[in-house]
Amino acid sequence: MTKSKLQITLDGSHTLISNFEGETYHSSFGAIQESQHIFIKHGLAQVHDYMKRVKILEVGTGTGLNVLLSYLWSEDNDVSIEYKGFEPFPLQENEVADLNYPKLLSIKNEIFSLIHSNKNKEIVLSNMFTLKICMSQIQKAQLRDNYYNLVFFDAFSPDAQPELWTTQVFTKIFKSLASGGILTTYSCKGSVKRSMQEAGFDIEKVPGPPGKREFLRATKG
């Protein structure tokens, strides 16, 4: 498979330009900035207050940036995390090695390599953080009911992957969330919002990171 192209975003962190319709993995305004804002500040930080163990589900683990930021969060906030990702097209080893996240986030390269090491097996990153990345499509995943507290919905865009942003997929995710659980995603598209509502979610529009006016946060009430 051809390597994705590396790009430096405006906060100095890398992203990748995929061979799949030229879709990028993150915002060109800042990859770390975007992930930190949408998934950590307005996702993880919203559920951790009342929980000592947070169960996260990610759709599209890609570069592993959200895993890395969640790992750092768990260390800084003494919150235990069980993280499960779905990624049918994992990066090649040399693509992972080129990314500057460990350097920018002051994390050992070994931790970042470990995140990308063993697909379909549980990996222990610390006594506070376990990770399992399943190499399969979210549409085919068997998810436990009423289990997760937080979902990072980070697939490629609704225009590129319309089959993922459907009522059917959101209904499956809705069922897998525990009551009060939330889903965050970078998209703010009307059709996405309607599919989420049809699945049963309550929707909020939240102010976005630089370069993005708003994004969607969905709650299982």
Ligand X SMILES: C[S@@+](CC[C@H](N)C(=O)[O-])C[C@H]1O[C@@H](n2cnc3c(N)ncnc32)[C@H](O)[C@@H]1O
- 82 to 141, contacts with ligand X by CB under 6 A? 86-89, 137-139
CB neighbour class for 26 (10 Å; exposed up to 12, middle 13-18, buried from 19): buried
Residue nearest to ligand X (CB): 60
Interaction mask 62-81, ligand X, x per CB under 6 A: xx-xx---------------
What's the min distance (Å) between Cβ of 31 and ligand X? 7
Sole binder of ligand X in the list 60, 102, 181, 208 (CB under 6 A): 60
| Residue 159 binds ligand X (CB under 6 A) | no
Determine if 59 is a binding residue for ligand X (CB under 6 A).
Answer: yes
Q: Which residues of 153-185 are buried (b: 16+ CB within 10 A; e: fewer)?
A: bbbbbbeeeeebbbeebbbbbbebbbeebbbbb
Element at 25 (helix H, strand E) = none
Note whether 34 binds ligand X by CB under 6 A.
no
Q: According to CB under 6 A, which one of 77, 105, 113, 156 is a site residue for ligand X?
A: 156
Cβ–Cβ under 8 Å, residues 139 and 133:
no
End-to-end CA distance of the chain: 42
User: Under the rule (CB under 6 A), what is the footprint of ligand X?
Assistant: 25, 35, 59-63, 65-66, 86-89, 137-139, 154-156, 161, 164
